[in-house]
């Protein structure tokens, strides 16, 4: 299996700090902002972002996790049903500025499902999308991220893998060729 390193632990740190700066620039004191990580793989990034933002601003942002399984448009079209993760949103998003966070933006279908799933928790004032790795030219729906960590050109046969030190000891972002 061929692997190419896109981001190592150090550059990931730098990227996360930059994304936090961008959020601070747009959200000021975050008085009306909440962070929602997409289950399962956006959760770790959302937690990192909240930690880093707290170091930088001294504020603890409300954080929730959203599972989109039941809102996906490929149910009954794939080999087997997807197993859902837990949705934990301990606040109402009515009138809030929501920052959706996921690790990789590929076809855009998960984000479409997330926008749909979010309506169960109220009508947000605004929704932004923050993505660690944006795979360019591969969208199936017209969805674009507001904040991007890194843009990469990839093939359909490749896969982007994000490893977090929480479960993999070190932070690394890989581009993997799937065929081998």
Partner 1 sequence: MSQLKTKHLLGIKNLDREDIELIFQTADTFKDVINRPIKKVPSLRDVTIANIFFENSTRTKLSFELAEKRLSADVINFSASGSSVKKGETLLDTVNNILAMKVDMVVMRHSSPGAPHFLANHIDANIINAGDGTHEHPTQAILDAFSIREKLGGVKGKKVVIVGDILHSRVALSNIFALQMLGAEVMVCGPATLIPRHIGELGVLVENDIKAALEWCDVANVLRIQLERQQMRYFPSLREYSKYFGVNRALVDSLKKQIVIMHPGPINRGVEITSDVADSEHSVILQQVENGVAIRMAVLYLLAGKP
Give me the residues that bind partner 1 (CB under 8 A), please: 67, 69-71, 75-87, 116-117, 119-121
CA–CA–CA angle 78, 84, 88 (5° rounding) = 150
Q: How far is the CB of 95 from partner 1 (least distance, A)?
A: 15
Is residue 140 within 8 Å of 5, Cβ to Cβ? no
Closer CB to partner 1, 22 or 69, in the complex: 69
Closer CB to partner 1, 67 or 134, in the complex: 67
Closer CB to partner 1, 59 or 86, in the complex: 86
Q: How far is the CB of 71 from partner 1 (least distance, A)?
A: 6
Q: How far is the CB of 165 from partner 1 (least distance, A)?
A: 27
Closer CB to partner 1, 29 or 79, in the complex: 79
Q: How far is the CB of 40 from partner 1 (least distance, A)?
A: 12
| Three-class DSSP category at 24 | helix
Q: How far is the CB of 75 from partner 1 (least distance, A)?
A: 5
Give the residue from 40, 52, 162, 30 showing the smallest Cα distance to 99.
Answer: 30
Q: How far is CA 74 from CA 24, 80, 110, 111, 158, in A?
A: 36, 10, 10, 13, 21
Give the count of alpha carbons within 13 A of 45, CB side only: 31
Burial class (CB in 10 A: 0-12, 13-18, 19+), 113: buried
- Residue for token digits 């060729």? 177
Closer CB to partner 1, 59 or 123, in the complex: 123
């Amino acid at each position: 299996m061929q692997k190419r390193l896109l981001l190592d632990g150090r550059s990931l740190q730098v990227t996360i700090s930059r994304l936090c700066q961008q959020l601070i620039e747009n959200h000021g004191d975050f008085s009306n902002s909440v962070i929602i990580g997409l289950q399962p793989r956006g959760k770790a990034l959302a937690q990192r972002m909240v930690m880093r933002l707290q170091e930088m601003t001294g504020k603890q942002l409300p954080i929730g996790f959203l599972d989109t399984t039941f809102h996906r448009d490929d149910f009954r079209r794939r080999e087997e049903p997807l197993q859902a993760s837990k949705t934990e949103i301990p606040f109402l998003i009515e009138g809030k500025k929501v920052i959706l966070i996921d690790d990789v933006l590929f076809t855009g279908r998960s984000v479409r499902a997330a926008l749909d799933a979010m309506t169960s928790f109220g009508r947000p004032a605004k929704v932004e999308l923050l993505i660690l790795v944006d795979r360019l030219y591969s969208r199936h729906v017209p969805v674009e991220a507001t904040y991007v960590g890194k843009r990469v050109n990839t093939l359909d046969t490749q896969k982007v893998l994000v490893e977090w030190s929480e479960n993999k000891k070190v932070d690394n972002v890989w581009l993997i060729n799937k065929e081998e």
